[in-house]
Amino acid sequence: MMKMHIPHDTPSHDARQDARPFSQILDRLRGAGLRPTRQRMALAKLLFEGGDRHLTAEMLHADAQSANVRVSLATVYNTLHQFHRAGLLREIVVDSQRTYFDTNMSDHHHFYFDQSGELADIPGDQVEVAALPAAPDGMEVSRVDVVVRVRPQGA
Amino acid sequence: MMKMHIPHDTPSHDARQDARPFSQILDRLRGAGLRPTRQRMALAKLLFEGGDRHLTAEMLHADAQSANVRVSLATVYNTLHQFHRAGLLREIVVDSQRTYFDTNMSDHHHFYFDQSGELADIPGDQVEVAALPAAPDGMEVSRVDVVVRVRPQGA
DNA sequence: TGTCAAGTTTAGAATTACTATAATCTGATG
DNA sequence: CATCAGATTATAGTAATTCTAAACTTGACA
């Protein structure tokens, strides 16, 4: 049971750093109520086995291509949104015109490099938002985003 | 000198609340190095004489239409960006897919109503960002944006 | 005040990021 | 291993924005 058509690598009985990498991802998908299809497994591997990442749909699609994983761009978009709804990814809005997803789900904020369009995490404990005002009547706060925009010195 | 083809209103010798409203705007444009054209004057009036506003290009364009000001959408986009570059407007990113501009240039942050896509100002002194991390090497902070996303209670 | 170069405006085409559609495929279940 | 809801895909469609090239204004100067 469990023989996937993903390019020959990481035979699960041999993996050293991470015991049973496939089933971890499998469990994550199952837990989220998502059928572990070939494409979702492959994208999940790309997303979650590369440490903390900030990427757009196009970036992940390119990643998949170079990893010899055949997925349509439409599926990449679908998958990113599903993972987001399932709480596996965070959506970051810093740039109208492209949507970033963040694999780091812990409480944290971001640096945004305006010229390059890149993002970097700021650990949660390095930013403190004191004194938030009360939410307007009948509303509740769903999230507080802090974006620290930076540029090269003297620009 | 100074007879504009803007629909009959606010004759400058008669304005009560605001002495010489035209020349104020005129000066603002001149100060920003922008030629005070009919379109820019009209858009500036719409933008800056309505108190603090959050609007998109399409909204301002609609505003102009209903005020009987003939401006192309392209000009609205151009003008918003020029005003932004000139420091007369602030650009707010809260929603990929549309760009908002804010006429309130004072130090402040925003509530964002996720379902309606509306924005509301939070006065600068009601949010306190303590403990910002140092900017990465060779970078300087250009701005810190705090967006408090809210939704109807129990959604 | 007429002329002209430079700056502006415009309609419409192009681009970009994304979403919808409808046909085809796949994997969980019986 | 047949079935079929759910997933994937190519492709068309959409919305916001930018580009383009031509036409129009403006301000300066003769």
Query: Tell me: the pLDDT tens digits for A83-124?
Result: 999 999 999 999 989 999 999 999 999 999 988 999 999 988
Strand D neighbors by CB, 7 A:
A 34-35, 37-40, 70-75, 78-79, 96-97; B 35-38, 56-58, 73-74, 77, 81, 97-99
Contact B124, A135 (CB under 8 A): no
Any atom of strand C under 7 A from CB of B39? yes
Per-residue confidence (pLDDT) for residue B89, from 0 to 100: 96
Per-residue confidence (pLDDT) for residue A24, from 0 to 100: 76
Place of tokens 């303590």: B130
Residues of chain B found within 8 Å of residue A138, distances taken between Cβ atoms:
152-153
Percentage of chain A surpassing pLDDT 70?
86
One-letter amino acid for residue B91 of the chain: E
- Element holding B94 (H helix, E strand): none
Average pLDDT over residues A67-85: 97
List the single best residue of B80, B84, B127 to mutate versus A (max A Cβ within 10 A).
B127
Query: Does the distance separating the beta carbons of A131 and B131 come in below 8 Å?
Result: no
- B96-152 pLDDT tens trace: 899 999 999 999 999 999 889 999 999 888 998 888 899 999 999 999 999 999 999
Contact A131, B130 (CB under 8 A): no
Beta bridge partners of B140: A151
Helix axes A38-48, A73-85, angle to 10 degrees: 70
Per-residue confidence (pLDDT) for residue A1, from 0 to 100: 33
Largest CA distance in chain B: 59
Per-residue confidence (pLDDT) for residue B83, from 0 to 100: 96
Calpha distance B23→B91 (Å, rounded): 25
Q: Is the pLDDT of residue A17 over 70?
A: no
Per-residue confidence (pLDDT) for residue A130, from 0 to 100: 83
Closest-CA residue of A relative to B122 is: A133
Calpha distance A65→A79 (Å, rounded): 16
Q: Is the pLDDT of residue A9 over 90?
A: no
Domains and CATH numbers, chain A: 21-92 (1.10.10.10), 106-150 (no CATH)
Taking an 8 Å Cβ-Cβ cutoff, which residues of chain B contact chain A? 93-99, 111, 113-114, 120, 122-123, 126-133, 135-136, 138-155
Residues of chain B found within 8 Å of residue A153, distances taken between Cβ atoms:
138-140
Residues of chain B found within 8 Å of residue A146, distances taken between Cβ atoms:
129, 144-146
Between A2 and B119, whose confidence is greater?
Answer: B119
Calpha distance A100→A146 (Å, rounded): 15
Per-residue confidence (pLDDT) for residue B15, from 0 to 100: 34
Q: Which residue is nearest to nucleotide C10 (CA to C1')?
A: B72
Considering only CB atoms, A150 lies closest to which of B97, B139, B153, namely B139
Any atom of strand C under 7 A from CB of B86? no
Calpha distance B150→A138 (Å, rounded): 10
Bridge-based pairing of strands B108-113 and B139-152 is parallel
Between A32 and B144, whose confidence is greater?
Answer: B144
Which 8-state DSSP code applies to residue A51?
S
CB atoms within 10 A of CB A102: 19
- B78-97 pLDDT tens trace: 999 999 999 999 999 999 89
Bridge-based pairing of strands A118-123 and A90-92 is unpaired
Calpha distance B126→B26 (Å, rounded): 34
Helix (H, G, I), strand (E, B) or coil at A116: coil
